Amino acid sequence: MLQYFLRRLFALIPVLFLISLFVFLFVHALPGDPARVLAGDNATLEEVEIVRRTLNLDAPLHEQYFDFISNIVQGDLGVSLRTREPVTTMIGRAFMPTVWLALCALGWSVLFGLLSGVISAVKRGSVGDHVGMFAAVSGISMPPFWLGLLLMQFFSVQLGWFGTSGFDAPADLVLPSLTLGAGVAAIMARFTRSAVIEVIREDYIRTARAKGLTEKLVIWKHALRNALIPVVTMAGLQFGFLLGGSIVIERVFRWPGMGSLLLDAISFRDYAVVQAEILIFSLEFLLINLLVDLLYAVINPKIRYS
CB closer to other proteins out of 113 and 163: 163
Size of the site for other proteins (CB under 8 A): 57
Determine if 78 is a binding residue for other proteins (CB under 8 A).
no
DSSP 8-state secondary structure symbol assigned to residue 86: B
CB closer to other proteins out of 125 and 160: 160
CB closer to other proteins out of 253 and 281: 253
Among 10, 14, 42, 73, which residue interacts with other proteins (rule: CB under 8 A)?
A: 42
CB of 40 closer than 8 Å to CB of 306: no
CB of 188 closer than 8 Å to CB of 212: no
Which residues, 6 or more positions from 55, have their beta carbon under 8 angstroms from its beta carbon?
34, 35, 38, 81
Burial group, residue 5, by CB count within 10 angstroms (0-12, 13-18, 19+):
middle
CB of 239 closer than 8 Å to CB of 290: no
CB closer to other proteins out of 45 and 210: 45
CB closer to other proteins out of 97 and 240: 97
* Closest distance of CB 254 from other proteins, Å: 5
CB of 232 closer than 8 Å to CB of 299: yes
CB of 241 closer than 8 Å to CB of 50: no
Determine if 161 is a binding residue for other proteins (CB under 8 A).
yes
CB of 67 closer than 8 Å to CB of 142: no
CB of 260 closer than 8 Å to CB of 250: yes
CB closer to other proteins out of 267 and 300: 267
Determine if 83 is a binding residue for other proteins (CB under 8 A).
yes
Beta bridge partners of 86: 79
Residues in 174-193 that interact with other proteins by CB under 8 A: 174
CB of 239 closer than 8 Å to CB of 232: no
Stretch that binds other proteins, among 63-71, 129-137, 161-169, 274-282 (CB under 8 A): 161-169
Rounded Cα–Cα distance for residues 206 and 212 (Å): 10
Q: From the DSSP assignment, how many helices (H) and strands (E) are in the chain?
A: 14, 0
Half-sphere exposure of 168 (CA within 13 A, CB side): 5
Among 4, 12, 28, 47, which residue interacts with other proteins (rule: CB under 8 A)?
A: 47
Determine if 202 is a binding residue for other proteins (CB under 8 A).
no
Determine if 96 is a binding residue for other proteins (CB under 8 A).
no
Determine if 162 is a binding residue for other proteins (CB under 8 A).
yes
Residues in 249-288 that interact with other proteins by CB under 8 A: 251-254, 256, 260-261, 263-264, 267-269
Among 32, 92, 107, 143, which residue interacts with other proteins (rule: CB under 8 A)?
A: 32
Residues that bind other proteins (CB under 8 A): 30-34, 36-37, 39-51, 53-54, 82-85, 90, 93-94, 145, 149, 152-153, 156-157, 160-166, 169, 171, 174, 251-254, 256, 260-261, 263-264, 267-269
